[in-house]
Chains A and B, each alone.
Chain A
Amino acid sequence: MDNKHKFDLQYFLTDASFKNWAKGLNKNDITYWNNWIQSHPEYLETVENAKSIVTGINFNQNYLSSDKVNNALSEILPKLDIDSSTNKKTKKLRSLNSVIFTSAAAVLLVLISYTSFAYFTNQSTTIHKTNFGEIIDLKLPDGTSVVLNGNSEISYENDNPRLLYLKGEAYFKVKPIPSTNAKFWVVTNDLKVEVLGTQFHVNTRKQKTNVVLDEGSIHLEFKNGEVTKMIPGEMVSFSNDSEKLVHKKVDIKTPYALWRGGTYAFNEIPLEDVMLNLESTYGLEVEYSSDSLKQIPISGGIPNQNLKICIAAIEKATGTRIINKGNILRVQENPIY
């Protein structure tokens, strides 16, 4: 530090070690700046000002809940003129009669699902299906919102949109109808979920059905006849092999893998299990260069709307390198780490 410098606010604010001193972070920096101040008392005022700017004011940020943001998003998406490629994609639709969209983009599905009731009211069944890696937000005729993950399908009879069949994975926010107390059902291969107004998540992949309840209350009826009631924050798993029910409370300590509108939330889940989710959502195979990699734990949110971003996030979280070669993901050590 020499005297050619102009010791003004900007000087202090752009100095990383000064910031550490102000926040009390790094021992060396603290010692250095304490000494510096003693030998430069004439800059005390500027130093104090710079320190206050660095430490600032701690606000409690009160941002909108992700539910509200998702609602706003599902309101705005149909108003967008998303891509002229919509026209090209339309040709790929085999037949609108079957109402199965095998190769349409997620974008197109969003548009179609909003208009389908106008076009297909004479059809007896409505089916919404996603391809690998697609996610669609749906509003059902009764006002219930559904986020359908990739490689999944829901269907319902048009005269009863509150009885849904699900394959794959979806997040539901059921609109209560207090006047009639009308119930809402989700049926999967393993179980039937009976619902009043509530928010919950159902995953039927991996020989196992998982139901996670966020809000409200639901009854589950399993194909083996067992009936159980769930409370918010609880996860119930039903394994096809053992035909056994497991209740778990979802909290910070239990490992879990949840999916909420476009993001997987993991808590101390081994990489191997995280990749299983990718396998079923994107239709991929995963290889590991060594078995030890499988056990690296992951915590945090991983977006799954886009495979590239998703892989990048996992690489970052685990310090591995993931190579995507024709539907095979190869996980290996990252030499940089």
Chain B
Amino acid sequence: MELHSDETIWYFFKKGEANGFSLLFKKYYPQLHVYGLKLSNNQEITEDCLQNFFIQLFEDREKENSIKNLKAYLFVSFKRRLIKQLQKNQKNLPISEAQLFKTNFTFSAEEISIHQEIQFLCTSTLANLINNLSPRQKEVLYLKYYSGMNSSDIAEVMDMNYQSVLNILQKALSKLRKASENQQIKNILKKS
């Protein structure tokens, strides 16, 4: 059960009281924490960055007048901050955003539920397949099905248009579906 809408949370947050801050923090800290870990693969940097992010968000709360979509806004601004920090930490070897994501955003078999539409693959095979997708495909899958964002929010977070999000989703999932179908055929052949 979702107790408060984001509008309510943001309203109380903007009032500058501890309760409003706690509401927003409790709802979004866990989500941003996992997202940060997926992006950086580094707990210490993620947590430092998150703390500073929330402090700054609180200090700047009056500047942010009209936030249309709180979740997308938080994800995108936290991501920017985290990437900046990661780049700072690796000043000597500058890395592009693309390189950064190539090494990260991996999923473990435990993170994948066995109740799948793509039912002919075991969770570790599915995890492998997902991990071998392109970084953008992985991030879109993550935002859509792990964080439960809708496609227009994802477009905002990924800084691309709505249609591109759909295309990426379509490509990624059809790859997984094909692998599942192949497995299904193999299973049938084995039996006969």
Q: Which residues of A are interface residues toward B (Cβ below 8 A)?
A: 9-10, 13, 48-49, 52-53, 55-64, 66, 69-70, 72-73, 75-77, 79-83, 105-107, 110, 135, 262, 300-303, 305-306, 309, 313, 317
Residues of B contacting A61 with CB < 8 Å?
34, 146
A60 touches B23 (CB 8 A): no
A269 CB to closest chain B CB (Å) equals: 15
B170 touches A9 (CB 8 A): yes
Residues of A contacting B34 with CB < 8 Å?
61-64
Residues of B contacting A262 with CB < 8 Å?
22, 26
A49 touches B170 (CB 8 A): yes
Partner of B30, one of A64, A80, A110: A64
Q: Which residues of B are interface residues toward A (Cβ below 8 A)?
A: 1, 3-4, 8, 12, 16-19, 21-23, 25-26, 29-31, 33-34, 47, 50-51, 54-55, 58-59, 107, 110-113, 115-118, 126, 130, 141, 144-146, 151, 162-163, 166, 169-170, 173-174, 176-177
Residues of B contacting A317 with CB < 8 Å?
1
A298 CB to closest chain B CB (Å) equals: 11
B74 CB to closest chain A CB (Å) equals: 15
Residues of B contacting A49 with CB < 8 Å?
170, 173-174
Partner of A63, one of B21, B30, B130, B174: B30
Nearest B-chain residue to A82, judged by Cβ: B18
B22 CB to closest chain A CB (Å) equals: 6
Residues of B contacting A301 with CB < 8 Å?
1, 3
A76 touches B113 (CB 8 A): no
B2 CB to closest chain A CB (Å) equals: 10
* Across the A-B interface, the 10 shortest Cβ-Cβ residue pairs: A58-B113, A63-B30, A52-B173, A55-B117, A56-B145, A107-B18, A305-B19, A59-B146, A64-B30, A83-B16
